[in-house]
Amino acid sequence: MFTKSLPNCLTVGNLFLGIMAILLAIHEEKYWEYAAIMVIIGMLLDGLDGRVARMLNAQSEFGKQLDSLSDLITFGVAPAVIMYVSVLQPMGFTGWVVTAIFPICGALRLARFNVHPGVPGYFIGLPITAAGGILATLALYKTYVDNPVILLVATLFLSYLMVSQIRYPAFKKTTIPKSVYWIAPIFLIAVAVAAIYFPKELPKVIFIPLGIYALYGVKKTLERKKRTEEHDEPVEE
């Protein structure tokens, strides 16, 4: 019985970390860095729950809906609150609106995925998991960005990517040896320890591959569009 419930336990753990991220973001300045780390660990759990469900043949409609609701909190609301507290709060009403737009676009992205999963091997629109991870870790770069408007525009850009038609490669079908799943708890503990000792550095490192993934989809879409236009261009006589 517990084995069949394990994927949902991972999903609930993801939701718990999202709530913790929100509380840490609004708590005190000295705990602020750990909010982004909660989102990162939530990403790891989110990547595990689906794979574990498929491995144990424990997939269910209940688990699918629970996963979507958890993702909206952990990767939609929590990163938006982190960015608001760290950057957007002084902007007044504009900061409120931009903060609200991100989880709204995340909800639209999740709803569209539940109805139309997309094409095999690809996600349509930036997955909310990646978008939330980028936004939460991007907030830690505020000391390097003189103009907060840049981070505001980045928040809106990530919101757009989630609801766009841009294709992103999906790695769900990638084969992973079953032995790796038993190492996963050790890996999660290692990440947690690294987060405790390096609360500022770890999220900044995680931002880099996530940012590359987001821009990769944009780059490939522009290249496809350019090839299509060149192919459709009439030949001069």
Shortest CA distance to 132 belongs to which of 110, 151, 159? Answer: 159
Cβ-count burial of 232 within 10 angstroms (0-12 exposed, 13-18 middle, 19+ buried)? Answer: exposed
Question: pLDDT (tens digit, 9 = 90+) per residue, 218-232?
Answer: 998 888 888 877 766
Question: pLDDT (tens digit, 9 = 90+) per residue, 21-62?
Answer: 999 998 866 677 788 889 998 998 888 887 777 777 777 888
Mark 12-48 as b/e (b = at least 16 C-beta within 10 Å).
ebbbbbbbbbbebbeeeeeebbbbbbbbbbbbbbbbb
Cβ atoms of 172 and 118 within 8 Å: the answer is: no
CA distance 114 to 211: 25
